[in-house]
A and B are shown apart, each in its own frame.
Chain A
């Protein structure tokens, strides 16, 4: 008896009936006449991102290079949080005095008991308001930005691309690392198509935009 693998591959070859065009040329011939490159200048691009984030109900705190800690403090006061989990390699300089920050390493239950999490990101896509996490030392393992009810994310202006194709192009470079893209807080419309924010992921998702 042949293996399932061999039999399925055999069925496929039978179904396609022998002659198929050379694969690489066939792939290159796929038409790609959609927009693959953005056209907005930096200001318009950031404005688009902020508009999309607001559309999802995220709060955006504006900040300057070197003043991230001030924005973090403002975000924590606005959301009434006193302590946050942080990834291993998050810069010390981002952490304001007067609040508690815990480096990751906690069990799921401990993460579940936390008030929230502060991370950075790999890139952001303006057209869709997507924030992309590459689950490395600065963005933490996946559980950390998922289990807590509050996620505060730092985005630098230079990390923002305009279109989805530009974003995917960058993501491909670290495709071997787990990737999460986030467009607003966890949501469902499964009940009468009414959008409810916050089912299993963080119910509140806020962004610090550093220009």
Chain B
């Protein structure tokens, strides 16, 4: 049994992955275009809300309250969901969740499942587990389908294929759907997906979904979507399995009034997404007659235990921080090596893995604060990034160059005498590298700075030296 986040434990360092990705001009163009469009739409529909800040505040406080009483609300949800005919399972980690889901599908003797977009299933690598057991999963969200058929990885938590343009998608569909003809207009491509999936919606007996909200007081589950693939999956098959992170529970049905306002506006820049489905257990003569919920921990309780980073679990997965982030907009999502990219991924991914992997992600930020500003539940991402950097250093996982530089700085700043001595040494040491008062190339490690910007040389006379001299001359 083990906890993991996709394949993040084996991903290259962010800085290494990013270097390769920023050279891919096609990806950069696609990412820039997509994030520009969503940002503009979001700004418009957020701007028309006179009470946006109050909604953010309440959204944050409801989540914080829920986390304070998470044990109570999970048990309450279990009770209400069970009373309505649902079956609730608990999974300590990714492996346990996979084995529960695989077991449930096998019990139906099903060889295929349809899936509604769930990043949580990517987190636990559910598709890999299903395939290893001879079960074929069909992703039904258009972007997820593009990613799955392209044997690719998601690059955004809301629009996972935003790094692909229409020509690339057309090639993937032609190849994988065995089509002989296909236009390249988005309408043509969407119609191809409709035709490809319709037969599966009507036939496949088991569906797997995630959830946006699990509602404790009514036992209801809410899925927010646009295409109708969610409605298909949760209402047509005989059996429905919903994989839900324990942080997705909210206390009351009434609390939806906050999130159903902030989530669509933040995620896709719509006043409301086309479809919300809310269901409670099993309904006779309507939809699945067997309904399972798998409540997943997989590192979440570890995050809960860190008071300063706890609010990471407030996240409602809108993706606004990705679109706003100047780093994400340059690199795209793949550089983060995780199903969760961008600012939220940079804090969530390493924490879910107990800070044992993905330690470079907290550094994948300029700390500009744009993510915090757009977050609909007011997660102070920059503060948590700094907090996690601190943790990385404490673990002794900071890069060697940085640790050495910090040791030197600690010595130099200990006393005026030390600073004087360090400055004098520096003046001698810098000689081979100075040209016209600036340093453009430093050797070994220190080139992390000079590789992208110049460093002013230490001047012949510092302000302190000049001041002492002046006092002497005047005095």
Contacts and interface: CB of A to CB of B under 8 A. Distances in A.
B274 A23 contact: no
Contact of B279 (A9, A16, A179): A179
A154 to B, nearest CB: 19
Contacts of A202: 228
A201 B194 CA distance: 9
Given A7-B92, A171-B253, A200 B197 contact: yes
A26 B68 contact: yes
B33 A192 contact: yes
Interface in A104-157: 108-109, 112, 125, 127-130, 135, 141-143, 146-147
A190 B187 contact: no
Interface stretch (B255-263, B332-340, B391-399): B255-263
Nearest to B228: A201
Interface residues of A, number: 73
A33 B228 contact: no
A9 B197 CA distance: 39
B37 interface: yes
Given A5-B90, A16-B68, A192-B166, A186 B274 contact: yes
A49 B48 CA distance: 16
A180 B260 contact: no
Interface of B: 30, 33-34, 37-38, 50-51, 54-55, 57-58, 61-62, 65, 67-72, 74-75, 78, 84, 89-92, 96, 140-143, 146, 159, 161-162, 165-166, 169, 186-187, 189-190, 193-194, 197-198, 201-202, 215, 218, 220, 226-229, 231-232, 235-236, 246, 251, 253-254, 256-258, 260-261, 268, 270-280, 283, 285-287, 295, 297, 301-302, 304-305
Interface of A: 3-5, 7-9, 11-16, 20-21, 23, 26-27, 30-36, 52, 56, 108-109, 112, 125, 127-130, 135, 141-143, 146-147, 164-165, 167-169, 171-172, 175-194, 196, 198-202
Given A164-B261, A194-B186, 8 more contacts: A8-B301, A9-B71, A33-B58, A34-B54, A35-B51, A127-B271, A177-B283, A190-B161
30 contacts: A4-B90, A4-B92, A9-B71, A16-B70, A35-B50, A108-B202, A125-B272, A141-B287, A146-B228, A168-B253, A168-B256, A169-B254, A172-B218, A175-B220, A176-B84, A176-B218, A178-B235, A178-B277, A181-B278, A182-B274, A186-B227, A192-B30, A192-B33, A192-B186, A193-B162, A196-B190, A199-B228, A199-B229, A200-B231, A201-B275
